[in-house]
Chains A and B, each alone.
Chain A
Amino acid sequence: MRESLIIRIHYATALAAVALVAVHVLIRVTQGFAESLEYESVVANYRFLPYAGLLEIILILLSVHGFNGLRVILLELRQGRRYERAVTLACVAAAVAVIAYGSRTIILMNMGAV
């Protein structure tokens, strides 16, 4: 993948995440910070499909943006074909792992596992 395409993805995920995280934070603040963190409130949030969808999209956007940022920093710290390949693979794997782990929480909670 060309770097100019990766940077476009980096910018697009950033802009989309800014808008969606703002919604996520606003919901917390408008509900009252302490109240919104109470068990019943959090469970209700997860069970509400549009909100669960919002969390899933934020999870994907921030994972892609964050781990690509980390990849860029690591690529600039050291060079070498094997190292660079390893960094790229590790960052992709880490992003996939975080998305999988976070999705597990969102899906199970939305399906009423708890």
Chain B
Amino acid sequence: MAAVAPPTDGARRSVTLRIRRSNPAAGQGPSYSEFTVGAEPWTTVLDAILEAKRGHDHSVGVRYSCRQATCGSCGMMVNGRPRLACFTKLSELGDGAVTVEPMQNFPVVRDLVVGFDRLFRSHHSIRPYIVSGEADIAPGTRETPQSPEEVERYIQFAGCIKCGLCNSACPTMATDTQFIGPQSLAQAYRYVADTRDRGKDERLRIIDDSHGIWRCHYAGSCSKVCPKGVDPAMGIQLLKGHMLGFR
């Protein structure tokens, strides 16, 4: 069988990749390293970073896994906006240099790697699971049927991959170190809207805090950057509607 020949339409170009480097544990402050990498029309930012690691400097710190926008590991600021590196093609970013930086509003561990402790703590705090007395499987336990309409109410929010891009874009997260964040609030709505769940009152009590849901002012930036169409801003406003008694 003949091997597939690479395209020879001249679409390959060179791109300057600027990577913000820092290593707080070693006391190294931020600086930028520049690399020239080859780019095909389908080359992603993650591909470019990995090429820079492979061909120029293997010490560049980056976290990634699935390379298909499923694991949520490779969130970073690409040209000043939070994006998944594996889900962003260089060709979408225009002709200039591409600058990659660690996600804003997350503490930097090293280079492009950020700490997720706060996001996971906030996520855990809203009890991200079905709360139901009928959850234990015992003789006579039956499935809990849901109509398609009931599933539609929450399924979009169940697509969250916890990549943290929404928290990175949120203006409240930029200054409020205790804000629960759009990711966790959207997940709170995901369970409140689920007809199998009985934990609504408890969840609403948890998020009705001075750094809870009311610190969201609907700037909508979280939904703009979500790579999975979760639309956290919508979930949060629907949750507020529940709390105000409109829904």
Contact = CB atoms under 8 A, between A and B. Distances in A.
The judgment on whether A and B are partners is yes
Contacts of A75: 176, 210-211, 215
Interface string A1-24: 011101110000000000000000
Nearest to A76: B176
Interface of B: 172, 175-179, 208-215, 243-244
Interface residues of A, number: 13
Given A3-B212, A7-B214, A84-B210, A76 B244 contact: no
A75 B215 CA distance: 9
Contacts of B213: 3
Nearest to A11: B244
A52 to B, nearest CB: 34
B163 to A, nearest CB: 24
27 contacts: A2-B208, A3-B208, A3-B210, A3-B212, A3-B213, A4-B208, A4-B214, A4-B244, A7-B214, A7-B244, A8-B244, A72-B214, A75-B176, A75-B210, A75-B211, A75-B215, A76-B175, A76-B176, A76-B179, A76-B215, A77-B175, A77-B176, A79-B176, A79-B177, A79-B178, A79-B211, A84-B210
A72 B208 contact: no
A79 to B, nearest CB: 5
Given A3-B210, A8-B244, 16 more contacts: A2-B208, A3-B208, A3-B212, A3-B213, A4-B214, A4-B244, A6-B214, A7-B214, A72-B214, A76-B175, A76-B176, A76-B179, A78-B175, A79-B176, A79-B178, A84-B210
Nearest to B212: A3
7 A-B pairs with least C-beta separation:
A3-B214, A76-B176, A4-B208, A79-B178, A4-B243, A7-B214, A79-B177
A67 to B, nearest CB: 16
B105 to A, nearest CB: 13
Contacts of A78: 175
Interface in A58-86: 72, 75-79, 84
B216 to A, nearest CB: 11
A59 to B, nearest CB: 25
